[in-house]
Structure 1
């Protein structure tokens, strides 16, 4: 099954965010991915009107990063310590519980569709990562049982590639947190692009975190498919032609990612209606696995 296009909000300017959310509401996925630190800490507040206007629009947000103002408030509340406040990042159990409640209130949703732990590999306590994850999962299982979140997941940038954890480790920690084989860890989010192509290449070979998450029945959300917009400058017309003859460079790059096996959603961060429409078309275009392998081989040679 092909993935659907979902709205990522990391790089959308505040003045465009609400309109972008309304466009996402009419797309097949009707899904928004955000975080409390996005848009200089204003993302939740700016998204709330669209979420109220479109109750069927689903939302994923995160716990982890915080801006300096939130760090001061959290430290004053006793849910983080000075180490976390300096790092402006925490997946500690107390902070996860506190920020989950704040996320629900700011977004105006009694139940969040997905809550990701945001780059847990960036913890200020790297030697305690797995213990921290287990404790955070315990809190999130409680939040799920209370009806505050429908599911939770891991949104990572380098956690899998650097070996900080694996799908099997995450599943084991979630089972330990839930006290049974049934838990609410249901998704991973990781970068998949023609630049950060390790997980992409592994999926084409039938291995790696994308495939392993599929074995667990989890969703896989691809972040940064245009590598923060840099691919538009890095890719060439010849490369685009190899992927999808006649397509623009951004559309071809989106099409390539959307044909990575095992993905559930491709997160596109844009406030431009034309770019959004082009991406909606691009995710539905088929590309043969042989063409994708050739594309990655070409890029590997260039690197």
Structure 2
């Protein structure tokens, strides 16, 4: 797993030339504020090879956060991350590896009959009950997440996952009440607390798309304060002194800034945005889609661009995402080596200060 000593040594080797706050604290570790995302593209050998080379280059260039999920590219993304870790000229404990479980993954490619695959691989062995699957493809029950964690450890070829996310729990709201989703989360958090105690993971969290950035009356809303409360209860049930719940992941970018602008969560002094609540609760925030899945690569709003350092629209968009209050790391896909070079270069710009960031919303 990532360690304080190794990540700080990595930072010392790579800090020259980067912006002042490029490296940031994550627990007792320190991580790059740009991370490598592995969500997009086809499940092919050619894409695997391209991802492999790009991850190795990123790790050698000043990026020591790699984010993936078991369902990304039908488990291929996790497996290529594992191979790249072995190939890179860097110690495993200098890299923060994060992954996710919740969506039922296929194995290498989409099967001809997905329903039959899920039945044979997961239902018949008793890993998950059909009633626990929402839309036949997503589950939060402890036994399923437990199984997915084991598979992720095997795919990645590592002994400990640095942060394991429960993936898009709001998906359950299609068929279940909020209260039942919170109950399922708490039960799964208990199991993750137990796995943390045995060393299979160091931290855990929740990765979302809608849940934490929409208003409470939205059907996809989940309360971040309630999720944190359930994690603390889970730690007590598991007999741990403190919860291992450490991070949230959510989208945040120039055109999708709801995590900063929407006061959707009850704080001690009234409603708060997800970013503000997370910061005050001591949670790390890893933001996804900082380039809006490519839409900001070529152009960002002029009034925002004028306030940001960076040579290109993509660089400016990354700087904006890294400047959000409480943001630890912005995760961006970079399948090709030229993407790695460009994104590493964007880290040489300083993030915006709080006043400058706030001014972009005036």
Pairwise TM-score range, normalised by the shorter structure: 0.7 to 0.9
For the 8 Å contact 2:62–2:344, the answer to whether it is kept is no
Q: Deviations over 1:88-146 (max 9, x none)?
A: 11111110111111111111111111100010110164311100100110110011011
Aligned residues: 294
Unaligned runs of 5+ in 1: 298-303
Write the distance in 1 (CA, Å) between the matches of 2:195 and 2:316. 40
Within 5 Å, which residues of 2 pair with 1:187-266?
187-201=247-261, 207-232=272-297, 235-236=300-301, 238-239=302-303, 241-244=305-308, 247-266=311-330
Q: Deviations over 1:27-78 (max 9, x none)?
A: 4451110001112331122222122344233310001112355634122222
For the 8 Å contact 1:5–1:29, the answer to whether it is kept is yes
Moved more, 135-144 or 22-31: 22-31
Match among 44, 50, 61 for residue 16 of structure 1:
50
1:59 aligns with 2:97: yes
For the 8 Å contact 1:120–1:156, the answer to whether it is kept is yes
1:151 aligns with 2:203: yes
Write the distance in 2 (CA, Å) between the matches of 1:257 and 1:243. 13
Write the distance in 2 (CA, Å) between the matches of 1:28 and 1:246. 17
For the 8 Å contact 2:304–2:360, the answer to whether it is kept is no
- Normalising by structure 2, we get a TM-score of 0.74
Q: In structure 2, what is the equivalent of residue 301 of structure 1?
A: none
- Normalising by structure 1, we get a TM-score of 0.87
For the residue of structure 2 that corresponds to 1:243, the secondary structure is coil
Residue 202 of structure 1: how far off its partner (Å): 5.8
Q: Deviations over 1:181-215 (max 9, x none)?
A: 61100001110101211113369xx9422222222
For the residue of structure 2 that corresponds to 1:113, the secondary structure is strand
For the residue of structure 2 that corresponds to 1:42, the secondary structure is helix
For the 8 Å contact 1:175–1:181, the answer to whether it is kept is no
- The alignment yields a C-alpha RMSD, in angstroms, of 2.5
Write the distance in 2 (CA, Å) between the matches of 1:187 and 1:29. 19
For the 8 Å contact 1:154–1:188, the answer to whether it is kept is yes
Within 5 Å, which residues of 2 pair with 1:161-200?
161-162=213-214, 163=216, 164-179=221-236, 182-200=242-260
Residue 281 of structure 1: how far off its partner (Å): 3.0
For the residue of structure 2 that corresponds to 1:150, the secondary structure is strand
More helix by share: 1
For the residue of structure 1 that corresponds to 2:127, the secondary structure is coil
Within 5 Å, which residues of 2 pair with 1:121-132?
121-123=170-172, 125-127=175-177, 128-132=180-184
For the residue of structure 2 that corresponds to 1:32, the secondary structure is strand
Q: In structure 1, what is the equivalent of residue 343 of structure 2?
A: 279
Match among 124, 136, 149 for residue 76 of structure 1:
124
For the 8 Å contact 2:36–2:65, the answer to whether it is kept is yes
Write the distance in 2 (CA, Å) between the matches of 1:111 and 1:281. 30
Moved more, 146-155 or 79-88: 79-88
For the 8 Å contact 2:213–2:273, the answer to whether it is kept is no
For the residue of structure 2 that corresponds to 1:178, the secondary structure is helix
For the residue of structure 1 that corresponds to 2:349, the secondary structure is coil
